[in-house]
Structure 1
Amino acid sequence: MQPLVIKVGGAFIGDKDAARGLFAVIQELIKTRQLVLVHGGGPIVEQWMQALNLKSTKIDGLRVTTDVHMPYVVGALAGTANTQLVAQARACGLEPVGLSLADAHLVRCTQMQAKYGAVGEVEPADGKLLKVLLDEGYLPLISSIGCSDGGQLLNVNADQAATAIAQLLKGELVMLSDVAGVLDKQQSLLAQLNAQQIDALVEQKVIRDGMLVKVKAALSAATSIGMPVTIASWKQPQSLLQMLSGDSAGTRICPPELQSMDETKLNQEHQ
């Protein structure tokens, strides 16, 4: 069975009850699945920015990270957020190992357009360390701080970081945030989406901003891995256990090849 890669949003990290709930579910999941947790830490970064009286802005849902901001972003994500998660996981009886994208050449990280500042985009590189840790029963907890080949630290969107780790391990990806999944105009949960449906919802401005980045990352991962990617909520961690029996935990983003197979099957059934 493929490893399971779970991405959690930054708001989760400051919620001890939510952490206990998710790690309790992870304790059940790791009995049958190898598991990696990838995290962001936006709210923690915002707290640091406000405390330091530094202005934080976003473009296309991505945080603009200036050279002045970068040391604090690294401290917030690879330091405070990551170590907090390690402590919470240990308190729940797990064996966590705190890492960043910069460790062991897990990913290849390059700087994005200059307008974003020290923000990187990633692609999978070397999964040797993760495979060793997983085989030994550890729970890798990975922050979204990367490093270029030239040694420049870069802030990576956590959804895109999780996508690269899922690609690296050929694993199933679940992206957890503070919403149950992708919602329609009436704020009802959409159980499943394909590329054409996503394009239509983007054009209608139903999917936008941070959710747009999340859905694009999910679709990219689904396309490269060849399996659906789930967008769900960390506020309902028990829903993840439904995945063990093949049920949906939130919104399933389907890759194009799976969509084509489903359409072919549907056409055959109606012939």
Structure 2
Amino acid sequence: MQPLVIKVGGAFIGDKDAARGLFAVIAQLIKTRPVILVHGGGPIVEQWMQALNLKSTKIDGLRVTTDVHMPYVVGALAGTANTQLVAQARACGLEPVGLSLADAHLVHCTQMQAKYGAVGNVEPADAKLLNTLLAQGFLPIISSISCSDGGQLLNINADQAATAVAQLLKAELVMLSDVVGVLDKQQSLLAQLSPRQIELLAEQKVIRDGMLVKVKAALNAANSIGLPVTIASWKNPQSLLQMLAGNSAGTRIYPADVQIADETKLDQEHP
């Protein structure tokens, strides 16, 4: 059965009710298919930065991670956030295993431009560990901390981290955040988007900043694995079950080689 990679945003981690709801759904999903959870932890990082009186900035929707900040970012993501999710999963009867992207050479990681600091790009590398865990029914929970081949710890955008894991396993990917999906100018949900439509909305600044990073990551994953990637909300985890039954949930981002119905509709609505 094809694996399912679920990515959750940092705001989710601090919401115990949301965690219980999602893990209850995962407990149902894992009976029929392997599931992997990949997470960020932006709000937890922000809490640490404020407590330490350190200034946090973003460029192009990506967190700038200085060498001074890096130990605290690692502690927040690979430590606090990851362990909290493991504990919440155990409370729901699952068998979670806490990991980071740095483990078992899951990905190949290189540092991005210097302006971002200790921030990296990742590509899929070795699926051996994940395949072993999934075959035994474990739920891998992976933080977005990785390292270069030279051992430098690097912070990875969590959407890009989830993309790499989905590519590694040729898995279906769902990106969950605190928004229902991609919205148009009227703040209405767009059920599906093609690469051409994404380009149009980006030019019009309808999709921008963090959402643009998310959509680009989803499109990259869709093109890489040849499957649509869904952007949806963790506030309604039951939508995952609806989606897997063939119903709509959030926004589906389609790969470039797939023609979708009503593709011209958006052009007419956003000339």
Normalising by the smaller structure, the TM-score range is over 0.9
Q: Which amino acid aligns with 1:88?
A: Q
Please show how residues 190-269 of structure 1 align to structure 2 within 5 Å.
Answer: 190-259=190-259
**Aligned mates of 1:189, 1:48 — CA distance in 2:** 34
What is the CA distance between 1:248 and its match in structure 2?
A: 2.2
Paired residue for 2:30? 30
User: Matched residues, percent identical?
Assistant: 86
Paired residue for 1:68? 68
Q: Deviations over 1:156-200 (max 9, x none)?
A: 000000000000000000000000000001111000000010011
Paired residue for 1:268? none
Paired residue for 1:144? 144
**Aligned mates of 1:186, 1:95 — CA distance in 2:** 42
Is contact 2:106-2:125 (8 Å) kept?
Answer: yes
Is contact 2:194-2:260 (8 Å) kept?
Answer: no
What is the CA distance between 1:31 and its match in structure 2?
A: 1.1
Paired residue for 1:56? 56
**Aligned mates of 2:117, 2:253 — CA distance in 1:** 30
Paired residue for 1:10? 10
Q: Deviations over 1:62-117 (max 9, x none)?
A: 00000000000000000000000000000000000000000000000000000000
- Superposition CA RMSD, Å: 1.2
What is the CA distance between 1:244 and its match in structure 2?
A: 2.1
**Partner SS for 1:257:** coil
1:128 and 2:128 matched: yes
Paired residue for 1:111? 111
**Aligned mates of 2:22, 2:51 — CA distance in 1:** 29
**Aligned mates of 1:116, 1:91 — CA distance in 2:** 37
- Unaligned stretches of 5+ in structure 1? 264-271
**Partner SS for 2:187:** coil
> CA, structure 1 residues 205+98, in 2 after alignment: closer, same or farther (shift >3 Å)?
same
**Aligned mates of 2:258, 2:109 — CA distance in 1:** 29
What is the CA distance between 1:261 and its match in structure 2?
A: 10
**Aligned mates of 2:179, 2:67 — CA distance in 1:** 32
1:165 and 2:137 matched: no
Q: Which amino acid aligns with 1:89?
A: A
**Aligned mates of 2:259, 2:35 — CA distance in 1:** 27
**Partner SS for 1:188:** coil
**Aligned mates of 2:158, 2:6 — CA distance in 1:** 11
Count, aligned residues: 263
**Partner SS for 1:108:** strand
TM (norm. structure 2) is 0.95
> CA, structure 1 residues 128+137, in 2 after alignment: closer, same or farther (shift >3 Å)?
same
Q: Which amino acid aligns with 2:219?
A: L
Paired residue for 1:19? 19
**Aligned mates of 2:105, 2:99 — CA distance in 1:** 11
What is the CA distance between 1:235 and its match in structure 2?
A: 0.3
What is the CA distance between 1:247 and its match in structure 2?
A: 1.8
Runs of 4+ in 1 over 2 A off after TM superposition: 259-263
- Unaligned stretches of 5+ in structure 2? 264-271
Instruction: After superposing the two structures, state which structure 1 stretch, 109-118 or 251-260, moved more.
Output: 251-260
> CA, structure 1 residues 189+262, in 2 after alignment: closer, same or farther (shift >3 Å)?
closer
Q: Deviations over 1:124-182 (max 9, x none)?
A: 00000000000000000000000000000000000000000000000000000000000
**Aligned mates of 1:58, 1:259 — CA distance in 2:** 35
